[in-house]
Amino acid sequence: MRNHGLDPTFLWKVIREKVLAMKALWTEDEAQFHGRFVNIDPVVLGLKPVQHIW
């Protein structure tokens, strides 16, 4: 982990934040996400995964 510039004590915090960022990108028309480890300015993502509404 340290070889890639990540302190192992932050591993799960980084993973959680990246998953939340992906969720925003995949569910919002114009997504943005700002956290401690991930910062994405407003962006439009063209292709999104199929969303099943039950």
Contacts 24+ apart (CB under 8 A), 11-19: 13/37
pTM: 0.78
pLDDT for residue 29: 92
pLDDT for residue 28: 93
If one counts the domains in the chain, the total is 1
Residue 14 within any structural domain of the chain? yes
pLDDT for residue 47: 83
- Nearest 5°: the CA angle 14, 16, 2 is 25
Residue 26 within any structural domain of the chain? yes
- Is there a contact between 14 and 6 (Cβ–Cβ < 8 Å)? yes
Residue 52 within any structural domain of the chain? no
Residue 35, both tokens: 């956290």
Residue 49 within any structural domain of the chain? no
Residue 16 within any structural domain of the chain? yes
Contacts 24+ apart (CB under 8 A), 5-13: 10/37, 13/37
Encode pLDDT of 1-54 as tens digits: 778 777 888 889 999 999 999 999 999 999 999 999 999 999 998 888 887 877
pLDDT for residue 46: 86
Residue 48 within any structural domain of the chain? no
The boundaries of the domain holding residue 11 are 2-43
Residue 7 within any structural domain of the chain? yes
pLDDT for residue 12: 92
